[in-house]
A and B are shown apart, each in its own frame.
Chain A
């Protein structure tokens, strides 16, 4: 357990306790599209669903506050008036059917009223019919994937990773992490590729997951829907105005649960169209010919990038993994072993472990990352150059 308490922990703890500085003192700013400093209520709504939640919450809060005040006014008055030290003598009543009926029926009626008030909102939230745009959202450990299925932008697909660098997060490895994150108002709620949608269009999200359960939560859009591996669930939203709406994963999904945020960007129709065109061009340019024969150095260099985007969270940059949780690739029997076994685990994952299937990557990307891991960290596999064609063949 000793290695869990990383070096410098004591020093940091001492510093933390010594200076009771707060975020106000750090001059943290409100996050555009995210929480404000010391926000204490629901976020400013960006559509009718979120407004409905706020209205319902206000209604329920006031009902609860009134009941609370009513009940405890009676109790505290009684504690003051009927105390022995004031000479109170106890009465001996202990039953009243009428009173019991009243305080059963009245709360029942209040509950029925609240139930009726909430029903319309439940139905509205679940109505995913007639969308203008349908996007498939896939939760991965620990990032989100988007596939534009239907509507303008159909065919676009990309992954969305946390863009806050580790240099801002890990105080124990980076002494100046604190200063850096203080200067970053979108700390932990920023990504490389946001989900881009047109403003004032009904967007249906069909949500699933690749490995474990995640949950897709964007407060200002009023949505939260679990992403369940092997099943499709859906929800919908509409962004009334152009802007950025930030959210997070809300179902515990393992080590980096806190590090897979969501950013939704709503653009005006014209801007959205422009974005779609650019994105399609970009995807075309990036498509690789799976029949190309690569040189070892080129493929390995490409693989290092693929590794950094997909593998590093578990297997670590140094290929040593995390003892007991994620196996090392350095000196791994599988990585040094048969080429086809290596390709197979990349395509199919390993049941019962965190190793997911990566068949969503292209043949070239898979060949690259396999080649990279067979040559990196002192690994010297016999079959050390795996061409994309081999992956393509294994897929069949």
Chain B
């Protein structure tokens, strides 16, 4: 960030070559910190765009009847909200954290493949342009839902093709980013840092990167088959030509279920860094946390069809996927218990990162518990594709992934910018987000239980009150994020000087270097005992 700009001159003398300035610094960036910064700003921009989609569709749903948008456009909004948030906001944000933090936390001088790192990032803006630009082609953006189920997605206009290309590009970016992360972690750790001494954030990203490498090609396969079904007369998903529409769902969810863990495992990592710092006590059960993360990752490959209980699979299929899914509760529970045990008999303070981390545990657990209810096939048959599911995955994706991203941002912001953020505003951001989040998403459980299907542009009058409340909550939540933006800008522009280890009790190599982190760090690797 800007503080780094001011700072790098002091350090360029101890580096063999100079690096470009001005716009070239960003376009040609090979420094992990610069690239991390770009990832984070990109994902925040996408968060705003995806959020505007959500607010527009919530405005339509404020009352029964069709007031603001047509049903076609409504479907485009729900679809693009999902695609932009998953592929544009949450995933790149975690890669941004990986870029900034992994080299600092393992004592490496940079990422292993600096130019590929540049390419990984610069693939994102064109993909975002394709996605957002698809609103303006004939027929508009794809309206087949973020899950782009065939054959509905085969019917879509050219907006679907733009989305497919965007996903291909984003997938390539993710795979390159993951290869970079795996190589960096496995080869560039400081002397003495064995695998079981790595910070938990590093562990969770290592496992996440393997998941990404395993499943992004599966998504690429599914959408390529979709593309050829659309334009070249193949019938992968068309029964009349010997294909099967349900096969699309199997392939999609074989990618899609690990994908949801891709979006939550690094969040677990961030929270596991923050809780010990503010409890002033070592993380409880480090090795069981590592094993639990690995178990979740492995289980994620054998539960995909729990998204498809209503497609009509045999009894044995339903039972297998139900049991396997329920099992995930065990390692996830271990993580929650370990965090609570870390807090137990600590000496806690509640700065904004800690508030968001505790908020994460509290609200994410609700999403985990509704996950257990949904894993039970007979109940999933009652609740599938209703608002209950919408509530469930927003509890794990917003209160899970997004809260952890906020927590991590506040936690490392002093290291990134060299300034302390405004604590009072940070707390406002937390409390506003927590209250508005629950106002938005808690009533959705009721709507789902009462039988309101998701992706509906209009609904029976009896659902009106809860929908009105949800819309009010959504606007409150959306506006609360402006506080976050303001805190960040304020912190970059100035503020109280941050110490090297501003939290005092924080453990880890990133706290041994100056704040803000110099442009080049750990050119001589530190030794970990």
Contacts and interface: CB of A to CB of B under 8 A. Distances in A.
Physical interaction between A and B: yes
A95 B284 contact: yes
Contacts, number: 363
Contact of A94 (B240, B246, B282, B462): B282
Interface stretch (A75-83, A286-294, A336-344, A388-396): A75-83
Contact of A88 (B347, B372, B385): B347
Contact of B464 (A13, A22, A169): A22
Given A100-B334, A226-B311, A107 B67 contact: no
B69 A4 contact: yes
B140 to A, nearest CB: 7
Contacts of B449: 39-42
Contact of A42 (B349, B369, B382, B464): B382
B63 A16 contact: yes
B450 A40 contact: yes
A38 interface: yes
Interface stretch (B85-93, B152-160, B175-183, B186-194): B152-160
A84 B240 CA distance: 68
Interface residues of A, number: 127
Interface in A199-227: 207, 211-213, 215, 217, 219, 222-226
Interface in A345-396: 351-354
A49 B340 CA distance: 39
B312 A68 contact: no
A56 interface: yes
A324 to B, nearest CB: 3
B514 interface: no
B345 A255 contact: no
Nearest to B349: A84
A61 B455 contact: no
A16 B63 CA distance: 8
Interface stretch (A122-130, A145-153, A269-277, A302-310): A122-130
B67 to A, nearest CB: 4
A115 B322 contact: yes
A35 B451 contact: yes
A284 interface: no
B341 A99 contact: yes
A82 B345 contact: yes
Nearest to A77: B344
A351 to B, nearest CB: 7
A181 B461 contact: yes
B382 A219 contact: yes
Nearest to A110: B329
A325 B139 contact: yes
Interface residues of B, number: 114
B66 A170 contact: yes
B279 A90 contact: yes
B143 interface: yes
Nearest to A68: B369
A312 B384 CA distance: 30
A92 interface: yes
B491 interface: no
Given A181-B461, A254-B155, A170 B65 contact: yes
Contact of B462 (A31, A219, A353): A31
B422 interface: no
B238 interface: yes
Contacts of B64: 181, 187-188
Contacts of A13: 59, 67-68
Given A88-B346, A259-B458, 13 more contacts: A13-B67, A13-B68, A37-B461, A39-B446, A39-B449, A72-B362, A82-B279, A83-B348, A107-B333, A121-B378, A215-B310, A235-B312, A250-B453
21 contacts: A1-B136, A28-B461, A38-B465, A39-B446, A41-B446, A42-B449, A56-B378, A71-B340, A90-B279, A95-B286, A186-B460, A211-B155, A222-B382, A225-B310, A228-B246, A231-B245, A247-B451, A250-B310, A252-B144, A324-B157, A352-B155
When A and B form their complex, which 6 residue pairs have the shortest distance between CB atoms, in order from nearest? A230-B239, A324-B139, A233-B312, A324-B138, A23-B464, A40-B446
Interface of A: 1, 4-6, 9, 12-13, 16, 20, 22-24, 26, 28, 30-31, 34-43, 49-50, 52-53, 56-57, 60-61, 64, 67-68, 71-72, 74-75, 78-79, 82-85, 88-96, 99-100, 103-104, 107-108, 111, 114-115, 118-119, 121-123, 125-126, 168-172, 177-178, 181-182, 184-189, 207, 211-213, 215, 217, 219, 222-226, 228-231, 233-235, 247-259, 322-325, 351-354
